[in-house]
């Protein structure tokens, strides 16, 4: 028997063995730390699905163990933990880390940016993945799109908002570039992880909160304290979740495992977005039935926020070369893509939504 035949025979026989036998001696073990608690299952399920798929694709030779926020790494410590190789990989959103560099925000999405689908076109076919990877490689991280929430809600407010004036002095939980935009309009923003927001809102240390959308927000119980639920969440018009892998860990991985990671991340992306749409659709009906007051943001607030957002981008382009490098192609792409979406996609949507 030639050596090649022996190897092929060994692999084939291995295929027929129960996974558990292989699982006792994995060749690769990764810890996957999430920025989210297990209770937010649309987010955390992605980590569990990913882990299961990697096990299936490698017959248990590569194992991924998911950990919720705080189990081994704090919610907002995921980026540093992956960057420093404290853990092999993590699940988070780049918008939490704009304190390091505002340019990071382009990876998850920025205020008045693209919809989830447009963001995906930019990432996979428009150079977005390459641009964000170049930036993240400086932090020793390789990023993969891992999910999206779609356009988020504008959040929960104790009092009805009549105009831009009502935002002055408001203490609001909001992270990322959106927090800088709202600060320019008089808001006092705070970045608080999921597990601590309800208490802050209930005790009155914040006046309002934006989190994600109906499903997650209902889990966190915000409707028990604030009755006015506003839209649209223009600062998170799409919020791409990412899988962050330590760059040295990634580069040491055999090609077959690399492909497994990439493809399992694709599945996570599509199924997370689908799960958000399906579950938000049901949750919004429950919230309305409970007496939640759905409201659209006042026009003067939307217009002022739009103007301040692009002023902020222009300032940041001058101050931050990393921001400028991504912003310029991103902005042109966004504009051209939205011009195209206005044609068949939006004209169809406008017609058919008018019938509902």
Toward a copy of itself, which CB reaches closer, 68 or 260?
260
87 vs 153, beta carbon nearer a copy of itself: 153
CB-based contacts of 65, cutoff 8 Å, min separation 6: 29, 30, 31, 32, 51
Q: How far is the CB of 96 from a copy of itself (least distance, A)?
A: 21
Q: How near is the Cβ of 202 to a copy of itself at its closest, in Å? A: 25
Q: Which is nearer to a copy of itself, 9 or 99 (CB)?
A: 9
Nearer to a copy of itself, 15 or 289 (CB): 15
Give min distance, CB of 203 to a copy of itself, in A. Answer: 28
Closer Cβ to a copy of itself, 85 or 347, answer by number: 347
Q: 124, 219 in Cβ contact below 8 A?
A: no
User: Which CB atom, from 97 or from 333, has the smaller least distance to a copy of itself?
Assistant: 333
Q: Are 265 and 243 in contact (CB under 8 A)?
A: yes
Token couple for 242:
């990412």
The CB-of-4 to a copy of itself minimum distance in angstroms stands at 6
CB of 73 to a copy of itself, least distance (A): 27
Cβ neighbours of residue 87 under 8 Å, at least 6 residues apart? 30, 31, 32, 33, 72, 73, 81, 246
**3-state SS track over the chain:** CCHHHHHHHHHHHHHHCCHHHHHCCCCEEEEEEECCCCCCHHHHHHHHHHHHHHHHHCCCCEEEEEECCCCCCCHHHHHHHHHCCCCCEEEECHHHHCCCCHHHHHHHCCCCCCCHHHHHHHHHHCCHHHHHHHHHHCCCEEEEEEEECCCECCEEECCCCCCHHHHCCCEEECCHHHHHHHHHCCCEEECCCHHHHHHHHHCCCCCEECCCCHHHHHHHCHHHCCCEEEECEHHHCCCEEEEEEEHHHHHCCCHHHHHHHHHHHHHHHHHHHHHHHHHHHHHHHHHHHCCCEEEECCHHHHHHHHHHHHHHHHHHHHHCHHHHHHHHHHHHHHHHHHHHHCCHHHHHHHHHHCCC
Q: Tell me how far, at minimum, the Cβ of 212 lies from a copy of itself, in Å.
A: 10
The residue (of 164 and 337) whose beta carbon lies closer to a copy of itself is 337
Residue 177 beta carbon to a copy of itself: minimum distance, rounded to whole angstroms: 15
**Angle at CA of residue 22, ends 16 and 24, nearest 5°:** 155
Q: Please identify, using beta-carbon distances, which residue of 124 and 205 lies nearer to a copy of itself.
A: 124
Question: Least distance to a copy of itself from the beta carbon of 243, Å?
Answer: 14
Smallest distance from a copy of itself to CB 97, Å: 24
| Nearest residue (CB) to a copy of itself, 321 versus 352 | 352
């Amino acid at each position: 028997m030639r050596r090649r035949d022996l190897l092929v025979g060994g692999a084939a026989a291995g295929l027929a063995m129960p996974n558990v036998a292989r699982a006792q001696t994995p060749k690769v073990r990764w810890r996957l730390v999430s920025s989210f608690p297990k209770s937010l299952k649309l987010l955390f399920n992605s980590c569990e699905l990913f882990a299961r798929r990697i096990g299936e694709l490698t017959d248990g030779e590569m194992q991924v163990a998911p950990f919720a926020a705080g189990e081994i790494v704090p919610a907002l410590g995921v980026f540093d933990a992956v960057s420093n190789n404290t853990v092999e990989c993590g699940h988070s959103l780049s918008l939490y880390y704009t304190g390091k560099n505002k340019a990071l925000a382009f990876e998850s999405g920025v205020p008045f940016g693209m919809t989830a689908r447009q963001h995906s076109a930019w990432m996979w076919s428009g150079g977005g993945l390459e641009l964000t990877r170049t930036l993240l490689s400086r932090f020793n991280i390789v990023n993969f799109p891992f999910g999206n929430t779609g356009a988020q809600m504008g959040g929960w407010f104790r009092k009805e908002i009549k105009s831009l004036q009502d935002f002055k002095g408001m203490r609001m939980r909001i992270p990322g570039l959106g927090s800088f935009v709202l600060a320019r309009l008089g808001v006092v923003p705070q970045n608080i992880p999921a597990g601590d927001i309800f208490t802050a809102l209930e005790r009155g240390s914040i006046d309002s909160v934006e989190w994600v959308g109906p499903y997650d927000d209902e889990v966190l119980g915000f409707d028990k304290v604030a009755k006015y639920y506003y839209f649209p969440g223009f600062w998170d018009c799409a919020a791409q979740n990412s899988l962050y892998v330590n760059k040295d860990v990634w580069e040491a991985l055999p090609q077959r495992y690399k492909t497994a990671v990439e493809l399992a991340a694709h599945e996570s992306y599509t199924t997370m977005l689908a799960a958000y749409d399906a579950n938000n659709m049901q949750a919004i009906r429950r919230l309305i039935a409970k007496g939640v007051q759905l409201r659209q943001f006042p026009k003067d607030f939307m217009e002022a926020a739009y103007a301040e957002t692009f002023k902020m981008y222009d300032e940041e382009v001058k101050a931050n070369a990393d921001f400028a490098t991504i912003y310029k192609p991103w902005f042109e792409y966004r504009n051209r893509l939205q011009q195209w979406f206005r044609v068949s996609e939006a004209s169809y949507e406008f017609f058919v939504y008018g019938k509902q």
